[in-house]
């Protein structure tokens, strides 16, 4: 049980203020600050030795800040020195916190050299960044800016302690300038910065150092359900409706209606259908322009392809009676490949008393007709899946979502009453109740046309098999996003990033699903 509780900390994200409060509880309970620093720093030193053993790297430069992050750096310096590494310190600050000063004094007594000129560390084979930890909010200035500028120009690997110096812990904003790390060793609990797209080029590869924060102290500060959570494989697996009962049939395994496609964008319909197929949905129905039916049947013979009247240019002009019989479905997904001509389709589908997913042209029409504010009046949940450009069109009044994505998606969900999936290197999913799910990894291989269509189908098929509250639906959307990202990662590993088109991606979804 205790092991499972510690594992649960892998999925929790805390803000800078929450981390301060958690540490405050630990200190108030009797844990000395010095003891906690020793524990965290020694574990970090062990991780550094695993990444860069003495047999590969011997000359290490360590940047020492004035606060406890600098204290951590000095404990690491001591430990690496005692293990035989050749340590040089960069200490540009004349005033240090009391505990940090004690460690600086001891480092000096050990004969560890210390400099105020960053350029004297150029001979090092590894740099450890201990200038500033979590909680930095003011832009860096003066000699620190000059030092980081020089450091970022060197071709030397950098390990940052907790977060790269110069980044805002919560938003990922670059505070004037920031260190570009090769690795970042996050201390204690994950912070929002690790899931903000604008910070990723500075973080490098992130790893968490668990130094034994009591679970009870985390739960005392971070309310449950946790407002920010990472969608791990364990949590994804818990959502999937597997194994299926022995006695079941297709209508009990979800009934999904896709409304998609046009003569111009027939591929969008195919890719959406392939994504839905991979979800294992029991009954897939697809409403497409009548001229596309033969093409869709050839690619998705198991789906019920419903032909609809079309415009002169090959867009859906209206839904046929079979597609309009919404009692036959559990959820509707609408948008990929529709074109702007299908405005009436999107307007009419908003009144359907079923969960609704809108993507691609469904979102563009929604934004163009300024109908976002009316989503909260729907009797059933709505799921929107925008990329950054679509998000800006839907919510032009929300501050730059390319910056603090977490706050932006949370606000959009609360204002619209919809579940919002904001695509990106770290996809974020928010529900109207304030819960945000974050996908911990992805791949640039997914930056290809059609990848989002596959995701829409996958979400629709997965959510169709898991009816329930809006909270359950948001977790289903997050699970589909995790599944989609993992398929992209696996495909890129086997085929390289350039070898992963959307059709190929769809063929890897079942490989990931089999791993559940």
Task: Say which residues have a Cβ less than 8 Å from residue 395's Cβ, sequence separation at least 6.
Answer: 372, 401, 408, 411, 412, 415, 416
d(CA 274, CA 271): 5
Is 69 part of any known ligand binding site?
Answer: yes
Is 136 part of any known ligand binding site?
Answer: yes
Is 25 part of any known ligand binding site?
Answer: no
Is 403 part of any known ligand binding site?
Answer: no
DSSP class per residue in 8-67: HGGGBB--HHHHHHHHHHHHHTT--HHHHHHHHHHHHHHHHHHHS-TTT--EEEEEE-SS
Is 108 part of any known ligand binding site?
Answer: no
Beta bridge mates, 114 = 89
Is 400 part of any known ligand binding site?
Answer: no
Q: Residue-wise over 277-290: b if at least 16 C-beta within 10 A, else e?
A: bbbbbbbbbbbbbb
User: Which phi and psi angles does 345 have, rounded to 5°?
Assistant: -65, -50
Is 86 part of any known ligand binding site?
Answer: no
Is 89 part of any known ligand binding site?
Answer: no
Is 129 part of any known ligand binding site?
Answer: yes
Inter-residue contact 490 to 511 (CB < 8 Å)? yes
d(CA 430, CA 21): 25
For 261: left if phi > 0, alpha if psi spans -120 to 50, otherwise beta; the answer is left
d(CA 385, CA 402): 15
d(CA 479, CA 477): 5
Is 139 part of any known ligand binding site?
Answer: yes
Residue of 287, 304, 239 lying closest to 465 (CA atoms) = 239
Is 456 part of any known ligand binding site?
Answer: no
Inter-residue contact 460 to 273 (CB < 8 Å)? no
Is 137 part of any known ligand binding site?
Answer: yes
Residue of 264, 504, 495, 277 lying closest to 361 (CA atoms) = 264
Give the number of other CB atoms < 10 A from CB of residue 152.
15
Is 152 part of any known ligand binding site?
Answer: no
Inter-residue contact 23 to 32 (CB < 8 Å)? no
Is 423 part of any known ligand binding site?
Answer: yes
516 CB-side CA count, 13 A: 23
Is 105 part of any known ligand binding site?
Answer: no
Is 68 part of any known ligand binding site?
Answer: yes
Is 424 part of any known ligand binding site?
Answer: yes
108 CB-side CA count, 13 A: 10
Is 109 part of any known ligand binding site?
Answer: no
Is 162 part of any known ligand binding site?
Answer: yes
Is 197 part of any known ligand binding site?
Answer: no
d(CA 460, CA 464): 6
Beta bridge mates, 127 = 61, 158
Is 135 part of any known ligand binding site?
Answer: yes
Dihedral sign (CA 296, 348, 430, 202): positive
d(CA 340, CA 335): 10
Both tokens of 237, joined, read 């697996």
Give the single-character DSSP code of 285: E
Numbered residues of the known binding site for AMP: 423-427, 452
Q: Which residues are known binding-site members for K(+)?
A: 69, 129, 165
Binding residues: 68-72, 129, 133-139, 162, 165, 337, 387, 423-427, 452-453
Summarize the annotated binding site for (6S)-NADPHX as residue ranges. 68-72, 133-139, 162, 337, 387, 453
């Amino acid at each position: 049980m205790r092991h499972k509780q510690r594992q649960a900390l892998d999925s929790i994200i805390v803000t800078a203020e929450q981390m301060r409060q958690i540490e405050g509880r630990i200190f108030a309970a009797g844990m000395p600050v010095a003891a906690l620093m020793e524990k965290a720093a020694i574990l970090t030193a062990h991780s550094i030795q695993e990444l860069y053993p003495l047999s590969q790297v011997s000359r290490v430069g360590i940047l020492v800040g004035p606060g406890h992050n600098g204290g951590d750096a000095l404990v690491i310096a001591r430990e690496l020195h005692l293990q035989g590494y050749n340590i040089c310190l960069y200490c540009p600050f004349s005033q240090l916190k009391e505990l940090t000063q004690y460690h600086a004094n001891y480092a000096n007594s050990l004969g560890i050299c210390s400099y105020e000129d960053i350029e004297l560390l150029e001979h090092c084979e590894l740099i450890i960044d201990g200038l500033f930890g979590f909680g930095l909010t003011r832009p860096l200035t003066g000699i620190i800016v000059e030092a980081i500028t020089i450091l970022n120009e060197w071709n030397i690997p950098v390990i940052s302690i907790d977060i790269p110096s110069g980044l805002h812990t919560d938003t990922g904003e670059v505070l004037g300038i920031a260190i570009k790390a090769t690795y970042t060793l996050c201390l204690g609990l994950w912070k929002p910065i690790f899931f903000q797209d604008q910070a990723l080029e500075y973080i490098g590869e992130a790893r968490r150092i668990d130094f034994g924060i009591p679970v009870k102290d985390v739960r005392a500060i971070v309310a449950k359900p946790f407002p920010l959570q990472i969608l791990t494989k364990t949590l994804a697996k818990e959502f999937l409706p597997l194994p299926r009962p022995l006695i079941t049939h297709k209508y009990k395994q979800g009934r999904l209606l896709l409304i998609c496609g046009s003569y111009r964008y027939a591929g969008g319909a195919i890719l959406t259908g392939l994504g839905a197929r991979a979800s294992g949905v029991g009954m897939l129905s697809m409403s497409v322009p009548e001229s596309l039916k033969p093409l869709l049947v050839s690619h998705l013979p198991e789906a019920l392809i419903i032909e609809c009247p079309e415009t002169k240019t090959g867009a859906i002009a209206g839904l046929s009676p079979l597609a309009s019989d919404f009692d036959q479905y559990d959820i509707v997904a609408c948008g990929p490949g529709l074109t702007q001509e299908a405005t009436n389709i999107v307007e009419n589908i908003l009144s359907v008393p079923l969960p609704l997913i809108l993507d691609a042209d469904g979102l563009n029409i929604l934004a163009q007709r300024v109908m976002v504010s009316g989503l909260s009046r729907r009797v059933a949940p709505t799921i929107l899946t925008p990329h950054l450009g679509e998000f800006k069109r839907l919510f032009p009044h929300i501050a730059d979502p390319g910056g603090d994505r977490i706050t932006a998606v949370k606000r959009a969900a609360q204002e619209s009453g919809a579940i919002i999936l904001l695509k990106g290197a770290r996809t974020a999913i928010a529900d109207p109740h304030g819960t945000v799910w974050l996908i911990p990894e992805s791949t640039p291989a997914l930056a290809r046309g059609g990848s989002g269509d596959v995701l829409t189908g996958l979400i629709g098929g997965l959510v169709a098999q898991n009816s329930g509250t809006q909270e359950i639906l948001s977790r289903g959307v997050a699970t589909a996003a995790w599944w989609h990202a993992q398929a992209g990662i696996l495909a890129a590993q086997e085929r390289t990033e350039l070898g992963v088109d959307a059709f190929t991606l769809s063929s890897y979804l079942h490989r990931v699903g089999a791993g559940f």
